[in-house]
Amino acid sequence: MTGSLRAGRERACRERTDKDKIYIMNATIITLPGDGIGPEVVVEAVRVLEHVAAAYGHRFAFNEAMIGGCAIDAAGGPLPDETLAACRAADAVLLGAVGGPKWSDPTAPVRPEQGLLKLRGHFELFANLRPVRAWPALARYAPLRADLLESVDILFVRELTGGIYFGKRREQDDGDTAWDTMAYTVEEVERVARVAFEAARSRRKKVTSVDKANVLAAMRLWRRTVTGMARDYPDIELEHALVDSFAMNVLRWPSSYDVVVTGNMFGDILSDECSVLAGSLGMLPSASLGAGTFGVYEPIHGSAPDIAGKGIANPTGTILSAAMLLRHSLGLEAEAQAVEDAVEAALAAGARTPDIGAPGVEPLSTTAFTDAVLAQMKTRA
Ligand code: NAD
Ligand code: IPM
Ligand code: MN
């Protein structure tokens, strides 16, 4: 499922040039820029992918489609049929963000976020990988003590197509009661837990399963199922944690965690919390994966209405999502690594958007920061 474990290529086609044993990848990538800062960060990640294509001789075709609030305005719904059809025919999707104040009226019949949930559900993208690392160049200015951030490298595996997000709900505009339900089946827990155990095998061999088994029935099933699966992975250390104290411990001892598997809503909240370890919400990427190689790649942040249109959004989360796209959907590990190395080198060289700004360092625009990443790719090629 992760990285090298995802061997099969379904649609992306590899050509081999026998002379120098270089593989050329032909791939179709759909971009869904969405709302707010979404378009501002997606355009930069596409520049990085275009650079990768040129440098390594691949052919990436990019097609743009609509999702979210802009799709509600233009087409009457947050996930038009044409968008779904375009995604179905593609190898991977690169998404910005959806939502914003314009569409936030709680009584509105449709919301931008529904488009994102429908996309995830439609393709059964049940495993959402959200890696969190603390960058040495940023540790000095983090709100947490720099020594706590040394060697922080956590992989959140968030269940993405079940739980309270997709349970039965009742909502009536004029009613005095509304409810959502959290349900999990053994099969849903097993498939996401398997992704976590497999990922741990190529990492530090530890899985922390985060739940609320002391209160919720669905979470007791979660814990029982994960415990049962651990028998297939005797080489992996499994620990269980309750979400409330985990939320505290992960900031207290962040380097003690390796792979963290959790349900849909807890994974949403905990990954935003842990972005503080990386320096900013704008730093974290994600990959949403199902059974095949197709995936949706997006930063974990939202449309950031407070900074939209100013050209100052941090594109790192989206650029690193593009690296995950190269790795998980296209099997281009060296290219993915090159992008990640360039981001690290740009940060080490002092490139900063305002959200990760350091005293005395002139902040860069979204585009100038990406230029700094591209410059590192060029000098390192
Ligand atoms: P948000 O993630 O949009 O913003 C939270 C804070 O982080 C803001 O101060 C913002 O400026 C900052 N921030 C976020 N991304 C940044 C970046 N790349 N660079 C610099 N700073 C960044 O969360 P919110 O304000 O709670 O939500 C705004 C809207 O986004 C809502 O409509 C919400 O539903 C939506 N949302 C969408 C997604 C998604 O599309 N995947 C994810 C989260 C929230
Ligand atoms: C995320 C977002 C989404 C989620 C919303 C916008 C539906 O917060 O991708 O983290 O809650 O999953
Ligand atoms: Mn979120």
Q: What is the pLDDT of residue 4?
A: 36
- The pLDDT, as a whole number, for residue 304 is 98
The preferred substitution site among 265, 276, 303 for testing ligand 1, maximizing ligand atoms within 8 Å of CB, is 303
Is the dihedral angle over the CA atoms 238, 241, 243, 248 positive or is it negative? negative
Q: Residue 11 has what pLDDT?
A: 62
Structure confidence at residue 81 (pLDDT) = 98
The predicted structure's pLDDT at residue 305: 98
- Digit-coded pLDDT (tens) for 85-102: 999 999 999 999 999 999
Q: Give the pLDDT confidence of 223-262 residue by residue, as tens digits.
A: 999 999 999 999 999 999 999 999 999 999 999 999 999 9
Structure tokens at 175: 């009613």
**Cβ-Cβ contacts under 8 Å for 81 (sequence gap 6 or more):** none
At residue 19, the pLDDT reads: 55
Query: Ligand 2: does its nearest atom lie under 6 Å from the Cβ of 137?
Result: no
Q: Is 364 in the pocket of ligand 1 (CB under 6 A)?
A: no
**Ligand 3 mean position, distance from CA 13 (Å):** 33
User: Ligand 2 atom closest to Cα of 271?
Assistant: 10
pLDDT the model gives residue 152? 97
Domains in the chain, please, with CATH? 1-133+280-381 (3.40.718.10), 143-278 (3.40.718.10)
Please state, in angstroms and rounded to a whole number, the distance separating the CA atoms of residues 345 and 110: 43
**How many other β-carbons are positioned within 10 Å of the β-carbon of residue 170?**
10
Active site residues: 165, 212, 244, 268, 272
What separation in Å is there between the alpha carbon of 33 and the centre of ligand 2?
15
Residues of the chain with pLDDT under 70: 1-11, 16-22, 381
Q: Quote the pLDDT of residue 174.
A: 78
Q: What is the pTM of this model?
A: 0.96
Q: CB count, 10 Å around CB of 358?
A: 12
User: Are 211 and 189 spatial neighbours (Cβ–Cβ below 8 Å)?
Assistant: no
In short, whether 124's Cβ falls inside 6 Å of ligand 2 is no
Residue 20's pLDDT is 55
What is the 8-class DSSP label of residue 14?
A: E
